[in-house]
Amino acid sequence: MTDPSEQAGPSQATPAAPSPDDQRPRPPRRVRVHHLREAKERGERITMLTAYDAPTAQIFDEVGTDVLLVGDSLGDNFYGYPSTIPVTVDEMIHHTRAVAGGVRRALVVADLPFGSYESSPQQAFDTAVRLLKEGGAHAVKFEGGRRVAEHVRLLTSSGIPVMGHLGFTPQSENTLGGKRVQGRGADAAERLSEDALALQDAGVFAIVLEMVPAPLAARITEILAVPTIGIGAGAACDGQVLVWPDMAGLSDWTPRFAKRYGRLREELAAAARAYNDEVRSGTFPDDEHSFTE
Ligand code: KIV
């Protein structure tokens, strides 16, 4: 997606003209939800990564990642939980605060964790308000189609941007029978498309499609005006998201759809091994890393 600072368009506020003497670098313009819709209209792909802490969020922000998702995947990726289900609202708030505090450009979206929104639109509203007020999120995401349309309507009409999440929805893995591709077969595909349209009608600004056959994701992307963000949903989606430890090669296991762009696990192990060796052999600390007076 083009940097909003470089876009000229009717929906962009005109930045204050810098004085010719002012040499300070201008901060990048914040990605807003309407920029994502405009990117879809221009046919520009949107990039999204998960982030759970300040240093990684700053790196992803600096390299121009458009959206940072404080996903409840922090449960299985950082807390060592068996799934996303044990993640609490307080944990989401801690991590959202760490991410939102450090980024200058990216849109920060926080997940509503399992059990914090399903029972009523009011419950979803109360949790979302905490993530915005206490966590500093710019938007929230939660799982589900028509069953949460009223929840989406209440939040968006109250000024809280909502991202939808369809297909394989990890919080329902116990009813879905594990991590399985969703929307296979004509009936399931029809239900998924109707869910996507219902979420759009309720006001979401984008929809994550997880583990959906690529042709179905392409069809949903075509019928929606709001962008789709795919994860295991093929190349036709308007954007892509990956869980960052999968993307950077920190996880010891990655799903088939997640490409590794780095070898962080090996790099970190090599660094820790070298440190252990040098401490044990007495070569660290040397004079360069000591205060000699
Ligand atoms: O929690 C998460 O990381 C997510 C992504 C898989 C989209 O919801």
- For residue 13, is pLDDT > 90? no
| Cβ of 111 below 6 Å from ligand 1 | yes
- For residue 15, is pLDDT > 70? no
- For residue 277, is pLDDT > 90? yes
Instruction: Return the exposure string of 95-132: e unless at least 16 CB atoms fall within 10 Å of the residue's CB, then b.
Output: bbbbbbebbebbbbbbbbbbebbbeebeebeebbebbb
pTM: 0.93
pLDDT tens digits for range 92-140: 999 999 999 989 999 999 999 999 999 999 999 999 999 999 999 999 9
- For residue 17, is pLDDT > 70? no
pLDDT tens digits for range 166-180: 999 999 999 998 899
Give the model's confidence band at 7: pLDDT under 50 very low, under 70 low, under 90 confident, else very high: low
Q: Give, for ligand 1, the residue of 208, 247, 250 to mutate: max count of ligand atoms closer than 8 Å to Cβ.
A: 208
Check if the beta carbon of residue 154 is closer than 8 Å to that of residue 125: yes
Q: Give, for ligand 1, the residue of 114, 140, 243, 251 to mutate: max count of ligand atoms closer than 8 Å to Cβ.
A: 243
pLDDT tens digits for range 207-230: 999 999 999 999 999 999 999 999
**Which atom in ligand 1 lies closest to the alpha carbon of residue 141?**
8
Beta-bridge mates of residue 210: 167, 231
| Cβ of 143 below 6 Å from ligand 1 | no
Please tell me what DSSP assigns to residue 183: -
Q: Give, for ligand 1, the residue of 47, 56, 67, 73 to mutate: max count of ligand atoms closer than 8 Å to Cβ.
A: 73
Amino acid at 255: P
Separation CA 223–CA 89 (nearest Å): 34
Minimum CA distance residue for ligand 1 atom 6: 243
pLDDT tens digits for range 28-81: 799 999 999 999 999 999 999 999 999 999 999 999 999 999 999 999 999 999
Structure tokens at 193: 């498309």
- The region of weakest confidence among 27-41, 143-157, 266-280 is 27-41
pLDDT tens digits for range 227-252: 999 999 999 999 999 999 999 999 98
Ligand 1 centroid – CA 200 distance (Å): 19
Q: In the annotation, is 6 catalytic?
A: no
Catalytic residue (one of 38, 91, 143, 210): 210
| Cβ of 71 below 6 Å from ligand 1 | yes
Give the model's confidence band at 10: pLDDT under 50 very low, under 70 low, under 90 confident, else very high: very low
- For residue 8, is pLDDT > 50? no
Give the model's confidence band at 266: pLDDT under 50 very low, under 70 low, under 90 confident, else very high: very high
- For residue 282, is pLDDT > 80? yes
- For residue 153, is pLDDT > 80? yes
Q: What is the mean pLDDT of residues 198-203?
A: 98
Check if the beta carbon of residue 131 is closer than 8 Å to that of residue 93: yes
Q: Quickly tell me which residue has 């989606």 as its tokens.
A: 237
Among candidate residues 163, 156, 160, the one with its CA nearest the CA of residue 142 = 163
Minimum CA distance residue for ligand 1 atom 8: 71
| Cβ of 228 below 6 Å from ligand 1 | no
